[in-house]
Structure 1
Amino acid sequence: MSNNDKQAGLEHKARKRFGQNFLVDDGIIRRIVKSIRPKAEDNLVEIGPGKGAITSQLLAACPTLNVVELDRDLIPILLAQFIADYPELTINQADALKFDFGQLLQDKEGNAKGPLRIVGNLPYNISTPLIFHLLSYAGNVKDMHFMLQKEVVDRMAAQPNEKAYGRLGIMVQYYCKVESLFPVPPECFQPRPKVDSAIVRLVPYDAPPYPAKDIKLLERLVNTAFQQRRKTLRNALKQLIPVEAIEDLDIDTSKRPENLSLKNFVDLSNKLIDIIE
């Protein structure tokens, strides 16, 4: 328990069902905040502030910080630590998977605010669906910095022909430039997780470098292709389009999904528009 928790007279043990692993290494915290470079004018949002380890340094730079925290028992701890010194802090007790981040694009008077800068030590058990939820707001996001399981970061940054390459990396890279920043070992957390972590930076493109005519079709194509990633494209796509149509696509259907680049998948999905109703 931190000194701030003691002063508040509150204790909180990490809850397994929320995937809580609290960051306690001051050096790593400083390095994360230095990578984010928060500014007073930022529309900054922290997902999963926990007991406020990163929150305190974010607030020092950006007093209008919004946080989204699911665990209602952490709310009194955050209020006791910060609200007296930072009255403009907004604490949203909500499930980030269901939270409407679009509402943070306006202030309480309805005036437009700048694009979102999103930060979070994301629970490993919801990280992938949460990333996909946040990508739906990509057009209103300046950047995102997340602590994730290192395996997930590797998948996000993976390139064709790499073992980690798949659906997650392709779809994240469709929307964002992906940069794996640095690893975070288990001993930096309390309790210690059983896996290594890493910090990733996602910067949404103003416009996708390879625009898909139908993003839902691209998602469907990539998902279908990687359901059985060891199959050739000819076999993997059978459940999506007729065999004779596959042969007319003017692609090497003997390749496996992991051999195709993001551009290849976008080009393929654009060709499928006239085939798939």
Structure 2
Amino acid sequence: MNTHTARKRFGQNFLHDHSIIYNIFSSIQASAGEHWVEIGPGLGALTEPLLKQKLNLDVVELDRDLVALLEKKFAAYDNLRIHSADALRFDFAALAAPGEKLRVIGNLPYNISTPLMFHLLDNAYCIEDMHFMLQKEVVDRICAEPGSKKYGRLSVMMQYYCDTEWLFDVPPESFDPAPQVTSAIVRLVPHKQPPVQIKDVKVLNRVVTEAFMQRRKTLRNALKKLISDEAINELGIDASLRAENITLEEFAKLSSLVEKKLD
């Protein structure tokens, strides 16, 4: 019986819907011998079926009471390592053996989901794929195409690092306590080679951030501190467009031009 009360400060909402758990496992195709990492295992709704797949599992949990609960609940499994740690500061790459790729899964707390994904992507070279339960609104933004109202910095930067795919929505009643919003499952597969060539991802991030800072501004106005509108037009990009109409490839061209100016 679960006697753990979900804690607001940790953003805890525990998954209990068996049909959703079944759908997740149908989507992830976990196999014996793989190395998986689960972030925020909660009460172990996904942990237990993962362990039964005879794979190697590391879980990272911040709440010490839950760590104690998980240690007791899964004491019989020798393929589990529990890390009592803050995922935002955790060294995920240290879990991977040389040449090994990790598969990552998690029901991420809404308040830290974006910084946590970028923290993981700093170690993208040792990650095979990631499956996350996030707010549906965040998943929509990650997967948005240019021209959409949802398209923004998160779309451009995540798509620079990963192939992104919305899998399915998860209704609030699948959790205890039920959150105020619908969730969704997203699949992120780090690119073997980035889809665009740039020298410095920090410059790309700066250009994209400035461009989207005030969505209603045209590129000409949004990027005037970084690049002239003549230079933008010379790249074959219309400086009177807004950031939401600019593709990743076009942002990469703008970024390369800014890099040259900074050199």
Q: TM-score, normalised by structure 2?
A: 0.96
Decide whether aligned partners of structure 1 residues 113 and 252 sit closer, same or farther in structure 2, where only a CA change above 3 A counts.
Answer: closer
- Give me the whole-angstrom Cα distance separating, in 2, the residues matched to 1:249 and 1:38: 45
**Which residue of the partner structure matches residue 64 of structure 1?**
56
**Which residues in structure 2 correspond to 1:193-212 (within 5 Å)?**
193-212=179-198
**Which residue of the partner structure matches residue 128 of structure 2?**
142
Does 1:15 pair with 2:3?
no
- Give me the whole-angstrom Cα distance separating, in 2, the residues matched to 1:242 and 1:65: 51
- Give me the whole-angstrom Cα distance separating, in 2, the residues matched to 1:264 and 1:246: 10
**Which residue of the partner structure matches residue 125 of structure 1?**
111
Identity of aligned residues (%): 57
Task: Tell me which amino acid in the other structure corresponds to 2:147.
Answer: N
Listed one character per residue, the Cα deviations across residues 58-91 of structure 1 (whole Å, up to 9, x for unaligned) are 110134200000111101110111122x123100
Task: Tell me which amino acid in the other structure corresponds to 1:105.
Answer: A
1:40 offset after TM fit, Å? 1.6
Q: Mean alpha-carbon deviation: is it higher for 142-151 or for 36-45?
A: 36-45
Instruction: Indicate if the aligned counterparts of 1:22 and 1:190 stay in contact, CA closer than 8 A.
Output: yes
Does 1:175 pair with 2:161?
yes
Q: Which runs of 4+ in 1 moved over 2 A?
A: 239-251
- Give me the whole-angstrom Cα distance separating, in 1, the residues matched to 2:194 and 2:232: 26
1:252 counterpart SS class: coil
1:148 counterpart SS class: strand
2:261 counterpart SS class: coil
1:119 counterpart SS class: strand
Does 1:166 pair with 2:152?
yes
Task: Tell me which amino acid in the other structure corresponds to 2:169.
Answer: P
Residue segments in structure 2 that go unaligned for 5+ positions in a row: none
**Which residue of the partner structure matches residue 81 of structure 2?**
90
- Give me the whole-angstrom Cα distance separating, in 2, the residues matched to 1:52 and 1:134: 22
Q: Mean alpha-carbon deviation: is it higher for 264-273 or for 188-197?
A: 264-273
Instruction: Indicate if the aligned counterparts of 1:167 and 1:222 stay in contact, CA closer than 8 A.
Output: yes
1:194 offset after TM fit, Å? 0.2
**Which residue of the partner structure matches residue 99 of structure 1?**
90
Aligned CA-pair RMSD: 1.5
Task: Tell me which amino acid in the other structure corresponds to 2:119.
Answer: H
**Which residue of the partner structure matches residue 109 of structure 1?**
none
1:143 counterpart SS class: strand
Q: Give the count of matched residue pairs.
A: 263
